[in-house]
Amino acid sequence: RRVEELEARVIDLERRLNERAVEQQKTPHIVNEMPAERAA
């Protein structure tokens, strides 16, 4: 059970990261303001 929950969390986090990456591509000035997040 826990493994399935963790997998679901990972998938959710990956979706959020993908959405955030798409938003950063639309607004590149945000990337310049937060270089630490881009490098991470």
Q: Are 30 and 24 in contact (CB under 8 A)?
A: yes
Residue with tokens 């986090």: 13
Structural domain span for residue 22: 2-39
Residues 6+ apart with CB under 8 A from 4: none
The model's pTM is 0.51
Average pLDDT of the residues in 5-17 = 96
Instruction: Tally the domains of the chain.
Output: 1
Average pLDDT of the residues in 3-32 = 84
CA distance 12 to 31: 22
Residue 33: predicted pLDDT:
60
Residue with the larger pLDDT of the pair 13 and 37: 13
pLDDT in tens, 18-33: 998 887 777 666 555 6
The answer on pLDDT for 15 being more than 60 is yes
Residue with the larger pLDDT of the pair 2 and 38: 2
